[in-house]
């Protein structure tokens, strides 16, 4: 019997894809990563690495990098639009025990990619088709390349080319909201290290937190609109429009937007959880499997959990048991990710409450630590190792 390591093709070089490739590589599998762009690259934007994501980065040997390049949240508060205090995300007395970091997306991507051997990364590979038999799977690319593997992981994002080979895609439903994102220097507004603020108003909210070792400030303005904006991370926005939307808010919001020279505009679409992620030797991961609204700040964290979980299970698989291993990965991750998808939807409605008892809303905000415990305490790797015993 062959003792050659399992061959795994990962399609998509975003955060989920590179995290998966690294997790598989560290487990000794023969992994190859394919990205359609000419280079691995992320647009300028922030991402929150929450306790469940921190745990997985530690397992991948990246805890030191996270603490060096991230910005730890030490004072996360919700405010009303005029700056009035609404709630803290957690009580100050337990702040030292919670690890929660703002990261520049490009820094996070580089943390994974820099630890992958260059020969494992293949850019300029746009997936156009897929086929499989009982024995192997083949990914077909626009450049003519055909790649055969024992398992294929589709981490090719919200507009996944591989998703249709697994399941009928969930119909995108416009959420009625657009996110305007950008970065400024922390020094330009005197932003304190580790401070997160989320200003909440009727139909709008404005989120700010530091990234890149507190040198930069990431801001996102969420605005209700009837215009069905393109679902893109990188579509250009108009800073002047954003300034008008938040005119008259807390002076710090206006000060941040006064520094904004360009923004990205992102239409927010919601989707119902997929019925399945896996078909034979193909499975989905990250946004290809569970796209979610950003209001729980869990998109990247859930993708990293997927990465560690699928690697843990495939490490125990043989060529003939790879389809079973992929199904076990789905069983470990799908229910948890679907629950987080629903939480993201709920949080958006809570943040932008237009009427009702705002004092009651603020009391709910003060329970974030408890309401997110099922997310923060989840150990994707431990659950995957337990599942792998069935192989």
Residue with tokens 């997160």: 196
pLDDT above 90 covers what percent of the chain? 82
Digit-coded pLDDT (tens) for 15-66: 999 999 999 999 999 999 999 999 998 877 899 999 999 999 999 999 999 9
Sheet containing 127-132: order of strands: 127-132, 137-141, 146-149
| Coil, helix or strand at residue 90 | coil
345-371: average pLDDT: 87
pLDDT for res 250: 98
Q: How far is CA 70 from CA 13, 73, 366, in A?
A: 21, 9, 25
Flag whether pLDDT at 321 surpasses 90: yes
Least confident of 79-93, 237-251, 353-367: 353-367
Contact 306, 194 (CB under 8 A): no
Q: How many Å apart are CA 60 and CA 54, to the nearest integer?
A: 10
**pLDDT single digits (tens) 143-197:** 999 999 999 999 999 899 999 999 998 888 888 889 999 999 999 999 999 999 9
Long-range contacts of 350-358 (CB under 8 A, 24+ apart): 351/198, 351/200, 351/205, 351/222, 351/295, 352/177, 352/200, 352/201, 352/202, 352/203, 352/204, 352/205, 352/222, 352/224, 353/200, 353/202, 354/202, 354/203, 355/202, 358/80, 358/86
**pLDDT over threshold 60, residue 371:** yes
Is 7-171+271-388 CATH 3.50.50.60? yes
Q: Could you give the strand order of the β-sheet that contains 46-49, starting from the edge strand earlier in sequence? A: 46-49, 101-104, 71-72
What is the model's pTM? 0.96
Reply yes or no on whether the pLDDT at 232 is more than 60: no
Cα-based angle 158, 162, 165 (whole degrees, multiple of 5): 125
Question: 270: pLDDT confidence band, cut at 50, 70 and 90?
Answer: confident
| Domain assignments of the chain as residue spans, ordered by start | 7-171+271-388
Residue 226 vs residue 230, higher pLDDT: 226
Q: Where does the pLDDT of residue 1 fall: very low under 50, low under 70, confident under 90, or very high at 90 and above? A: very low
- pLDDT recorded at residue 229: 63
């Amino acid at each position: 019997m062959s003792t050659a390591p399992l061959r795994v093709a990962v399609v998509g070089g975003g955060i989920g894809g590179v995290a998966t490739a690294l997790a598989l590589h560290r487990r000794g599998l023969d992994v190859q990563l394919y990205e359609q762009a000419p280079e691995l690259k992320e647009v300028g934007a922030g991402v929150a690495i929450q306790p469940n994501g921190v745990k997985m980065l530690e397992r991948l040997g990246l805890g030191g990098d996270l603490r060096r390049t991230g910005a730890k949240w030490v004072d996360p508060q919700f405010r009303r639009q005029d700056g009035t205090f609404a709630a803290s995300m957690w009580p100050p007395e337990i702040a030292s025990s919670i690890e929660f970091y703002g990261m520049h997306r490009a820094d996070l991507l580089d943390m994974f990619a820099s630890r992958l051997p260059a020969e494992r990364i293949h850019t300029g590979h746009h997936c156009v088709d897929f086929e499989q038999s009982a024995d192997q799977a083949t990914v077909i690319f626009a450049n003519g390349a055909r790649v055969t593997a024992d398992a294929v992981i589709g981490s090719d994002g919200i507009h996944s080319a591989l998703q249709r080979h697994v399941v009928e895609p969930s119909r995108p439903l416009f959420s009625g909201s657009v996110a305007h994102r950008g970065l400024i220097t922390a020094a330009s507004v005197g932003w304190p290290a580790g401070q997160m603020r989320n200003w909440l108003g009727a139909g709008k909210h404005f989120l700010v937190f530091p990234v890149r070792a507190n040198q930069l400030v990431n801001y996102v303005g969420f605005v209700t609109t009837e215009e069905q904006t393109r679902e893109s991370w990188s579509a250009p926005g108009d800073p002047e429009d954003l300034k008008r939307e938040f005119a008259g808010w807390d002076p710090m919001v206006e000060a941040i937007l006064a520094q904004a020279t360009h923004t990205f505009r992102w239409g927010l679409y919601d989707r119902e959880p997929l019925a399945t992620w896996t078909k034979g030797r193909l499975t989905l991961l990250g946004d290809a499997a569970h796209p979610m609204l950003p209001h729980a700040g869990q998109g990247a964290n859930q993708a990293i959990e997927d990465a560690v979980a699928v690697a843990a299970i495939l490490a125990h698989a043989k060529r003939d048991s790879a389809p079973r291993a992929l199904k076990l990965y789905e069983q470990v991750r799908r229910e948890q990710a679907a629950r987080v998808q629903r939480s993201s939807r709920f949080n958006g409605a809570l943040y932008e409450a237009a009427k009702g008892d705002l004092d009651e809303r603020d009391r709910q905000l003060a329970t974030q630590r408890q309401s997110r415990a099922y997310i923060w305490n989840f150990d994707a790797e431990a659950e995957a190792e337990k599942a792998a015993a069935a192989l």
